[in-house]
Structure 1
Amino acid sequence: MRSSFMEKVKSCGVICFTQTKQPSFLLMKRSYRYDLPKGHIEPGETELQCALRELFEETGITKKQVCLELDFRFKTIYYPRYRRFGGDKVEKSLVIFFAWVSEELEIVMTEHNASEWVKWNPPHYFHNRIIDELLLTVDRQLIVKGKR
């Protein structure tokens, strides 16, 4: 008999934007979809520590190379299936922070097939609920701050 208990996991990451005349933002690519530099939080880590660690591990971008928008925190919950839990659905919390970088930095690939600096020209639609919602939230933040 299966339990109705659902495992909970949390991932944190960063969306990076360039501080250039025509800003762009970084997306990672897997063979079939776009993704963000993000990963699972480790015991004793804060959300921000996790996000910055994952950013470095997946892109080579260091915390010294980013300037965080400290009042931005995007959170969503979704229910993917996880192999490590026998293919069962889990409740996954995702927290994304926003950071500026000076330019389109060279990305060191470790976990993805490719990366792309996408020119900021909203609205953007990637047919990925999480990325699309995140970009709408970023756009609202930039409008409020007078940066768009």
Structure 2
Amino acid sequence: MNPGDWDRVRSLAGQLPDDGALPLTEEVRELLFRVAPDVALSQEEARRALNAPDTAAALLREMHRRIRDGSRRLSRALVESHKLKQTGDFAAAREVLNRVAAVEIVPFYQDQVRIALDHVDVPEDDTQTDSDA
């Protein structure tokens, strides 16, 4: 994952008319081809989509949707899980994260859910590191 790539995908998607085709510059092709695996799309899918402006636009929209929806889903789950954890309901906190883990396809977001699951059973007071003490 290259820093800034997702921001560039968001920006491009925001500039694209709902039914518009995507101008296929070399920079756009490279960006979408590079980002495809980051959002659980194969490079073969990207390669096929980048053959025409209308299919490239559909690819860009799908990438943007996966980034946006995954981010929202993860954020909501982390907040809800944290609130449940603070009340001492670790099982419910874990369940919230497991529901997201069951549907999330974007590898970065999957990693974030796994990290949260690894720490869900640790009480808040025990989350200090040695350097915090």
* Larger of the two Rg values belongs to structure: 2
TM-score tier (shorter):
under 0.3
- Structure having the higher helix fraction is 2
Q: Could you tell me the TM-score, scaled by structure 2's length?
A: 0.26
User: Could you say which structure has the greater relative contact order, defined with CA pairs below 8 angstroms and 6 or more residues apart?
Assistant: 1
Larger % of strand: which?
1
